[in-house]
Amino acid sequence: MSPANGLRALRIALKRLDHNKNGLCDPVEFKYGLRAFGIDISEDESALLLKNFDPSRSGRLSVNEILHIIRGDSLNERRTGIVVAAYNSLDKSGNESVTIADLERGYDVSPNPEFVYKTKTGE
């Protein structure tokens, strides 16, 4: 499994632990959710994870906080280049802002089956 797939799988697993669907997992959800994945941790280990993966000190774990900590604060040079290239390809007007108009100019609806079979318009 590539690192990107590992992070994607982690994000999916963490979202499944969020029984309240509020973007956060409390320590109990986290502990028993991990157990469902075959990972059994003690109360002390759960508290340690909460301490390290809750930088906002909310008492809950956030999927974004966990992924941010795992990825680190910065992208490597190659990933930064990819992000910049993707952003620049979306910014059709060149004004350093991606607008709906930019997206419309760059989107080709012709291969979309709903457009082909005239169940939806190009708009």
User: How do residues 82-96 score in pLDDT, each as one tens digit?
Assistant: 878 888 888 878 887
Domain boundary among 53, 71, 89: 71
Coil, strand or helix: which one is 108?
A: coil
Whether residue 8 sits in one domain with residue 65: yes
What percent of the chain shows pLDDT beyond 70? 79
> 60-74 in b/e burial notation, b at 16+ Cβ within 10 A?
bbbbebbeeeeeeee
Coil, strand or helix: which one is 118?
A: coil
Distance, in Å, from the CA atom of 115 to the CA atom of 118, rounded to the nearest integer, reads 5
- Domain span at 96: 77-116
pTM assigned to the model? 0.40
